[in-house]
Amino acid sequence: MQQLDAGEAQDGAEETLYQRFAPTLFTYLYQQVTSLQDAEDLLLEVFLAALRTDKLTGLSDDQQLAWLRRVARNKVVDRYRRSSLLATLPLEQVMEQEDSTLSPEQRAEQQERYERLYAVLKQLSPEQQEMIHLRYVLGLRFVDIAAYLDKPEGSLRKMMTRTLRQLRELYEQKERGKQQ
């Protein structure tokens, strides 16, 4: 009988956690995804993660909410990452689909430009590469990237500007080297 009472007390605590924080988290999630169902699914995933951890029991309400918000952000990023991976085609396949009107010479030149771009991207730091991947491949917003990388959004925007400037300069150097 004591085990049943302890289980009921635990269920009550989890219900209270849900009642206190679900509206706030749902509002955030619904702003981040495209449908009500996706927001509800993510909310469920957040509270399932909360059930699987013992970290929340010793935390204050503010700390619990901060932990849950962090999990919610991570779930949103994971959702976008999974969905973009499913929709991503190899660059070569996209080129074939989009460039059917290009002549063989134009196609070869375009392939060379892509190869130069890939080579230049590899010269960037891993952090810069990840930032470009999150922004331009996964299509994440700066606020989501900042949360994922745990950096202030303003700093991230400045870093992206510097990275794109550096990428452009490296690409142009490589382009000039090709022409000589």
Length of the chain: 180
For residue 75, give the amino acid letter.
Answer: K
Cα 80 from chain centroid (whole Å): 6
For residue 102, give the amino acid letter.
Answer: L
140: phi > 0 → left, psi -120 to 50 → alpha, else beta; which?
Answer: beta
Query: Where is 70: in which H helix or E strand?
Result: helix 61-87
Residue 179 vs residues 133, 172, 174, 175, 176: alpha-carbon distances, Å: 29, 11, 9, 6, 5
What's the average model confidence in pLDDT over 157-174?
Answer: 89
pLDDT tens-digit profile of 56-112?
888 888 899 999 999 999 998 888 777 655 555 555 555 555 556 777 888 788 788
How sure is the predictor about 166, in pLDDT bands with cuts at 50, 70 and 90? very high
CA distance 76 to 145: 11
Give 16 or 21, the one with higher predicted confidence. 21
Q: What tokens appear for 55 in the block?
A: 């970290």
- For residue 175, give every residue at least 6 positions away whose Cβ sits within 8 Å of its Cβ, in sequence order, or none: 116
What's the average model confidence in pLDDT over 43-53?
Answer: 90
CA distance 41 to 57: 24
Residue 175 vs residues 91, 99, 179: alpha-carbon distances, Å: 21, 22, 6
